[in-house]
Amino acid sequence: GRSSKREAIAVSAVALQDHIIHSHQLQDLSLANPFKSRTRNIKNIYKPVNKEMVTAVVDTGLRKKSTHYKNKEDAEKEYVLDPSPPQLTLAQKLGLVEPPSSPLTAEEWVKIKQRSIQHGDSIQPCAICREEFALQPQVLLSCSHVFHKACLKAFEKCRGKKCCPMCRKEQYQTRVIHDGARLFKIKCAIRIQAFWRGYIVRKWYKNLRKTVPPKDSKLRKQFLEQKVQEISNRLLSSYDINLDEFFSEIDSSIAASRDVFQQLEETVISEIDWEKIQIQAFRQEISDCPICIMPLSPAVHPASLFPGNCKQFSRQTVLLSCSHLFHHTCLRAFEEFSLGERHLCPLCRSYYQKKILKC
């Protein structure tokens, strides 16, 4: 009985010693790859080569296959960053030391990623460097926290062990994901679309301002002035004509239009219309001729306003169709000095017909 106990104690001691030595050796391993040693046994890798076994190979480049699409697919692929765990030590097999946790399955990683998405870890900046993930490599821990791959590597190197910067969980597992890069690409695409839509809207509004007049009075006036100026410039640039001939045509067209208006205005005024015009002239209470500033004949006013006989008024009074009164001689003298074919009223500058009033 004692020998068996001694053997069991000896086996346990040897197992623990082996586990301690193995753990001590693993302390000097790389933190980015905990199961890969930093130290390398430098050996003479140069070996004698048999020249007879060497054959010359000419690389023409014709058989090379394009790996562009393959690399593009691999860039979006998620993978576990941790290597396969080492073999169990004797102490771990005997149950003296707790064995390391087994690698997570794909379903467990999906649940962890969903929990990270719910927390919005990929949307928020990295908790170590406080910068956006952008297109840089991103690492998801088994505790559902997300960091930059380079930031986590530097943190592990500084601490000397694997420890989550957020929850302080040790011996976690890591997986490379690309959620931050995907969100960053979507954000960039939205910015590009917003810029392009803004450019299209500004261009459309600029064309709209050129075609639709604004409602404001000042802006509307400027808009119309600009349009008239553009039309005039376009006409002047499109036609090569003589200005003298152009102005002469304008004068002839104006003269023709005046003749048309004169013909329209040459209508016969009836006696009833003359009576209405005379009543309108009486209401104006004009007693002097506007040309010579002398009294008009009493035919214009009632006899009570002009005491005396009508013979003292030698000048006849003429009534125009515009209801203005003048001395007949004064109006004839004014007509002799006018240049146009048809005469205009000295007061209202309109064409007229005249009628001599009897005393």
Residues 6+ apart with CB under 8 A from 348: 322, 324
251 is a domain residue:
no
210 is a domain residue:
yes
Residue ranges making up the domain that contains 201 = 184-237
Examine the domain organization and report whether 114 and 147 are in the same domain.
yes
Tokens found for residue 11: 């086996």
| Domain harbouring 154, CATH code | 3.30.40.10
Average pLDDT over every residue of 232-247: 77
Report the domain count for the chain: 3
Q: What is the pLDDT of residues 76-127, one digit of tens each?
A: 778 887 766 667 676 667 777 776 677 788 888 888 888 888 888 888 889 8
Examine the domain organization and report whether 164 and 188 are in the same domain.
no
**E strands of 12-124, at which residues?**
79-80
- The residue ranking higher by pLDDT, 242 or 301, is 242
Q: What is the pLDDT of residues 250-298, one digit of tens each?
A: 888 888 877 766 665 666 788 888 888 889 888 888 888 998 988 887 6
61 is a domain residue:
no
58 is a domain residue:
no
259 is a domain residue:
no
Residues 6+ apart with CB under 8 A from 356: 316, 317, 318, 319, 328
- The residue ranking higher by pLDDT, 240 or 178, is 178
> Domain ends where: 163, 183, 203?
183
Examine the domain organization and report whether 279 and 338 are in the same domain.
yes
pLDDT at res. 322: 87
329 is a domain residue:
yes
Examine the domain organization and report whether 223 and 280 are in the same domain.
no
Q: Is the pLDDT assigned to residue 49 strictly greater than 70?
A: no
Q: Is the pLDDT assigned to residue 33 strictly greater than 60?
A: no
Residue written as token pair 């219309």: 273
> Domain ends where: 141, 159, 183?
183
pLDDT at res. 191: 93
189 is a domain residue:
yes
